[in-house]
Chain A
Amino acid sequence: MKIGIGLPSTVAGADPTLIAAWARQADTGPFGSLGVHDRLLYDSLEPLTTLAAASAVTERVDLACLVAIAPLRPAALLAKQAKTVDALSQDRLVLGLGLGPREDDYQVSGVAYALRGRIFDQQLAELRMLWRRADLGPQRGRSRPKLLLGGGSDLALLRLARYADGYVHNGGPARGFRSAADRVMSAWSDLGRPGRPELWGLGYFALGPGAYEEGRRDLLAYYAFTGGFVSRIAAGLLASPEAVRDFTRDYAESGCDHLILFPTVARLEQVERLAEAVALL
């Protein structure tokens, strides 16, 4: 299993100029990827443009968008942007797409929340055709980025097996990841796809003195919209090297291929601290 680190692009109050330094440092470290989340109405950065910036200062790591809320974006523009970041980074983009749970992001985009599933279905079919078009450049590199889909419904699994290269989980204990992965695999086999889908997981960390409280506040703010569930998300915050070790070991044993740990504290020393924790594995 490869371990990646998130960029602090959805940590409220983070200094945007931190992104480049963070990405540079992660590229030298033990990490396999850099991850970003997507949210419109929040003190956060847009994911694909953030990854474009990261691509300019990195050479090695995968650039993982976990996940872009597809229906908020026109399919053709999304296809173009994704191809652009993939070309800029020399085939390092991992494009996770999803629906996102927040109605306000849809409202501000003028997209009907109630139609999001139908729009998404159409977009996935369009993206496949758009990426194959000879007149939609850039034409260097591969024809499309690696595509991941998330979601836990049977329909989401069907979409994944129909269109994508892998699965991205929405966080939480490895137990949940494991049963989700079993369902993903069953859809993949049932639809006769060769090989196996890549499995991506994610978690949240805050390491070092005082970081736990800060990180917890960040998660409570970011996930406040989930209601009673937010306390469970915050309870999963990895606040010690031991917690990081146990979490990554459980995910590795559950068949995860790439695990990205997202920061909840926007200080550069967090990269170093996570690198040290990961080095213990």
Chain B
Amino acid sequence: MTSRALDIAVVGGGPAGLYFAVLAKRANPAHRIRLSERNRAGDTFGFGVVFSENTMGFLTEQDQQSYPAIMAGSRRWDPITVIHRGEVVRCGGVGFSAIERKRLLNILQDQAADAGVELLFQAEVSDLSSFDGCDLVVLGDGVNSLHREALAPEFGTYIEHGTTRFTWLATTKAFDSLTFFFERSDHGAFGVHVYPYSDERSTFIVETDEQTWLRAGMDRFSEDDTIVYCEGLFANHLDGHRLLSNRSLWTEFRTIHNRRWHVGNRVLIGDAAHTAHFSVGSGTKMAMEDALSLTQQLERLGSEVAPALVAFEAERRPRVEHIQRMAATSFDWWATFRHYVDWRPRQFAFHLLTRSQFRYDTLKLREPAFLEAVEEEVGTDWIPSRSVAVSDRGPAALHLLGPAAVSPEGRVSPSDLLTEGWGDRLKDARARWPERKLGIQLRHAGPRGACHDRAEGLDDPLPQDRNWPLFAASAVAFGRGFPVPAALDAAGMEKVAVDFRTAAAEAARLGFDWLELQFGHGYLLASFLSPLTNQRADVYGGTMENRLRFPLSVLAAVRQAWPRGRMLAVAISAVDCAEGGATIDDAKVIAGRLYEGGADVITVLSGQTVWRSVPPYGRVFNMLAAGKLRNECGIPTMCPGGITDDDDVRSVLLSGRADYVRFDSASR
């Protein structure tokens, strides 16, 4: 099928615009495509660009012409190298390639010219009205897109500003792979990402936190100052090679989001539409995938521009947002690595490599030798002693029973365990798992309570004739069909604290070794902690300090009854996973106060505090939050959530992100 010929204007001659022009012109030579680039053909900035190889695979399938030429001009390598505290740690099986940006653009410029694209250089497009007669205007004018800014309200542009400072340099030393290294100066910790893009050049990106950057006086640095400082700091990695600059200013990374990628016949592609922190190496890849998708949708829909733009965005947005999420967690690592620079080199490298898309199980497929090296350094004998079970799955040193309600009105479902039932459960568990210590979780229903048992489903409120009154911080129903709970009054608080204390005393008397208090997941204490459910105007609502007041008093009551020397865990929903809800920064404060208040360990959960909270389900999905509380705040953590096998356990424990892991109840 040949599509209708279109008159297309492309603004910006970066990878996105050029590649789109090439593909679209090839797909239908009858299109008229004019590409305007404000610089000269040979001008370019930014040294080399990197692609992760496996993610480029699909271009190989779809584009038999440009892609081979690009790959032919690229440097390719397999491992990631982490150099830390004098040790070189390698993890293979990753696969990257990089190409000089100028070379990539030259290839695409040649192909565009061959295909018959009209290339206009030194052509500043100040006003899109000159393209009013065009069928389609493609805006590929980069992260600082002027045309996006001019239409920012229409595109719904919002920009996240990173908290680190970085600068793009190059070096004459050709490193042999993607390499990370880290050094401390008198001012703080600096990290470097390096990758080779030719036989005599590597891209060299230096990143640090804002405080360190200010302490070093870098806000006043010239390019030469930067070179001198970095050549000194990284001298032992450079082997006498020089650093090179090219408009290498210190800057903060800006993550671009747009609620719409097209307005009328104008469409954003590449960095103009979206960016993702360079540590995941996806900017150029996304730009090229955008170009391919837009071309394919135009072809498929017979050059009908409006539906093609809708289909383009529908196809690309989920993939782009996935990469942006990955990039956000990767970026967070780069914003906080100063907490880890004193770690042993291999565990440090494992922590770095598992910051975003990799886990133990995914690395095992790529490079078992790397994991063996990590395990040799960290040891593995201690792993079972830090594993907690809730079913047969193990090995585990501790078995957690429950959840148990501290009172009949504190039940979530009719069959919830009450104190009278503990003795029998304890006896059964001792017989079944003689090698495990035993613990129990205590909870009290909140906005979420008085529901059918969970065999058939969750959050299914009992009919009025079978339910019981619910209590919460405020009179806000949990969700559809739930009764409105009563706001807990002073007498109610007193009773709840006594019930928790009594239950803890009973658990101690029966010989439980471990006690966990459920302060998350939408139950009573969670309703005080979350700003989404606590609307009180008294001393138990409003500020964080106030929202913590009642949970801390319950903890204090339990602490009176629960012996020192036996473990007391408090589970919190570290993030509400809902708009306006608690974030990890809130969790740092909450966990810190609970730890000071007598909790020995914080169990890190996500969401379920309100009906609409949606946690990021998957393997080890609470791992990053647990790691942040443990390593940035010094709070011992337990990590449940998406842990079903030994690989998951190792993802968490070997990366130092929690002190304990808890197996899930269900697995494949």
Residue positions of A touching B, CB distance < 8 A? 122, 125, 128-129, 154-155, 157-158, 161-164, 178-179, 181-197, 199, 224, 227-229, 254-255
Contacts and interface: CB of A to CB of B under 8 A. Distances in A.
B641 A199 contact: no
B614 A155 contact: yes
7 contacts: A183-B618, A185-B664, A189-B665, A191-B608, A193-B454, A193-B666, A197-B666
A162 B665 contact: no
A191 B617 CA distance: 11
Interface stretch (B122-130, B279-287, B455-463): B455-463
Contact of A186 (B296, B403, B608, B618): B618
Nearest to B311: A227
A190 B481 contact: no
B457 A182 contact: no
Nearest to B668: A255
Interface string B631-668: 00000000011101000000000000000000011111
B13 to A, nearest CB: 25
Given A192-B454, A197-B666, A227-B297, 15 more contacts: A154-B615, A184-B617, A186-B619, A186-B621, A186-B642, A187-B617, A188-B666, A189-B666, A190-B606, A190-B615, A191-B608, A193-B665, A227-B300, A228-B62, A228-B293
A201 to B, nearest CB: 12
Instruction: Give 8 nearest A-B pairs by CB, closest first.
Output: A255-B668, A186-B642, A189-B664, A196-B666, A187-B617, A228-B296, A183-B618, A189-B665
Among B311, B455, B608, B614: residue with most chain A CB under 10 A: B614
A255 B666 CA distance: 12
A194 B456 CA distance: 9
A191 B667 contact: no
Nearest to A125: B480
Contacts of B619: 182-183, 186
Nearest to A126: B480
A81 to B, nearest CB: 20
Given A185-B664, A185-B668, A191-B608, A154 B293 contact: no
Contacts of A122: 480
Contacts of B616: 154
A155 B480 CA distance: 16
A164 B456 CA distance: 8
B668 A183 contact: no
Contacts of B224: none
Contacts of A161: 458
B455 A183 contact: no
B315 interface: yes
Contacts of A184: 617
Contacts of B621: 186
B315 A192 contact: no
Among A154, A158, A189, A199: residue with most chain B CB under 10 A: A189
A199 B455 contact: no
A182 B315 contact: no
A228 B618 CA distance: 27
Contacts of B608: 190-191
Nearest to B315: A227
Contacts of B614: 154-155, 158
A254 B664 contact: no
Given A192-B458, A199-B668, A183 B617 contact: yes
A187 B621 CA distance: 10
Interface of B: 62, 292-293, 296-297, 300, 311, 315, 403, 454-455, 457-460, 480-481, 605-606, 608, 614-619, 621, 640-642, 644, 664-668
Contacts of B296: 227-228
B95 to A, nearest CB: 17
B481 A182 contact: no
Contact of B315 (A186, A188, A228): A228
Contacts of B617: 154, 157-158, 183-184, 186-187, 190
A189 B606 CA distance: 13
Contacts of B297: 227
Contacts of B403: 192
A189 B642 CA distance: 8
B668 A193 contact: no
Contacts of A181: 668
Nearest to B642: A186
Given A125-B481, A129-B481, A162 B458 contact: yes
B354 to A, nearest CB: 16
Contacts of A228: 62, 292-293, 296, 315
A192 B458 CA distance: 8
A194 B403 CA distance: 12
Contacts of A195: 455, 666
A122 B293 CA distance: 34
Contacts of A196: 666-667
A186 B664 contact: yes
Contacts of A190: 605-606, 608, 615, 617, 640-642, 664
B480 to A, nearest CB: 5
Contacts of A193: 454-455, 457-458, 665-666
Nearest to B621: A186
Contacts of B615: 154, 158, 187, 190
Nearest to A185: B666
Contact of A182 (B454, B644, B665): B644
A30 B616 CA distance: 39
Contacts of A229: 315
Contact of A185 (B454, B606, B644): B644
A254 B457 CA distance: 25
B652 to A, nearest CB: 13
A181 B664 CA distance: 14
Contacts of A157: 617
A112 to B, nearest CB: 16
A179 B620 CA distance: 12
A19 to B, nearest CB: 32
Contacts of A199: 668
A181 B666 CA distance: 11
Contacts of B457: 128, 162-164, 193
A191 B605 CA distance: 11
Contacts of B300: 224, 227
A254 B667 CA distance: 11
A125 B611 CA distance: 12
A193 B664 CA distance: 11
Nearest to A257: B668
A265 B458 CA distance: 41
A68 B330 CA distance: 39
Nearest to A188: B666
A128 B481 CA distance: 11
Contacts of A192: 403, 454, 458, 665
Nearest to A131: B456
Contacts of A154: 614-617
B167 to A, nearest CB: 36
Nearest to B301: A227
A173 B457 CA distance: 29
A191 B642 CA distance: 11
A224 B296 CA distance: 12
B604 to A, nearest CB: 12
Nearest to A197: B666
A45 B284 CA distance: 45
Among A179, A181, A192, A224: residue with most chain B CB under 10 A: A192
Given A182-B619, A227-B315, A191 B458 contact: yes
Among A182, A183, A196: residue with most chain B CB under 10 A: A182
B306 to A, nearest CB: 13
A164 B458 CA distance: 9
A185 B391 CA distance: 14
Nearest to A164: B457
A190 B459 CA distance: 13
